[in-house]
Homo-oligomer: A and B are copies of this chain.
Amino acid sequence: MVLIDGKATAAQIKAEIKEEVDRIVSNGGKRPHLAAILVGHDGGSETYVKNKVLACEACGFQSTLIRFEDDITEEALLAEVDRLNCDESVDGFIVQLPLPKHISEQKVIEAIDYRKDVDGFHPINVGRMAIGLPCYVSATPKGILELLRRYNVPTSGRKCVILGRSNIVGKPMAQLMMQKQYGDSTVTVCHSRSATLKKECQEADIIIAAIGKPGFLTADMVKPGAAIIDVGTTRVPDPSRKSGFRLSGDVDFEHVAPLCSFITPVPGGVGPMTICMLMQNTLSAAKKEFYR
């Protein structure tokens, strides 16, 4: 069994990015610049944004954090998005989700210039990804593809089961895994309504679990030799931790791991790759790799 080390892989990729940025800057080029808008003080969001700022430093990027209280109007937030769209010093930016209920997330996402949409959530990027055109692929699916590639996990022609059909993970993951240029797999998407979920998992060569139910994937659902990617990051109360919680994946790691060919831990698997792929998208934005 190979433990897929997302933390080490992410560190490696960030070092590669830093090297390229140093080269760009020493050749007189512009340092990539990522901006992030954070609304309110949600604990998870604070952590994510902080880690994104730290990742920017590690990659040699310029970063700008723009904070608003959660009583900001939709109009004011859209105006800020528009300002960043027009700010030529900013290569890419994100609006950290979730947003307060009085603001339409979809409206905000669609207001972002797709050429700066390094989260890959704008319909143009989603659509281009679906039909196999160059674009910003959203960070979590992109990070999973990168782990599969760097660990030489065989995917072509294999049966890949995806648990969950969210817009952020399950759906784009399915679209990528089925494409010849990415996974080239036989892809099955299971969800809460799937009658044959267990059987699908038992037949899978690769399982990507993204349903947010701690320990959902148990050993009896896994074929010996399967590769398991765990996207779950549910906060489970844990009084023994200083934070009061620990992150729990969708996989019963203790019992599933001995069966697998490859498995990602939680934390330290998919999580660190997500931010790292946001950095890669920002570098692509700075290099105008996909647009303009």
Contacts and interface: CB of A to CB of B under 8 A. Distances in A.
Contact of A127 (B123, B174, B186, B191): B123
Copies of this chain, complex-wide, total 2
A133 B157 contact: no
Interface residues of A, number: 41
Interface in A141-159: 156-159
A178 B186 contact: no
A124 to B, nearest CB: 5
Contacts of A190: 186
A165 interface: yes
A78 interface: no
A191 B165 contact: no
A165 B185 CA distance: 11
Interface string A268-281: 00000000000000
Given A127-B123, A130-B175, A178-B165, A187 B186 contact: no
Given A156-B193, A158-B195, A186-B190, 8 more contacts: A123-B133, A125-B127, A126-B127, A127-B127, A127-B128, A130-B171, A159-B194, A199-B203
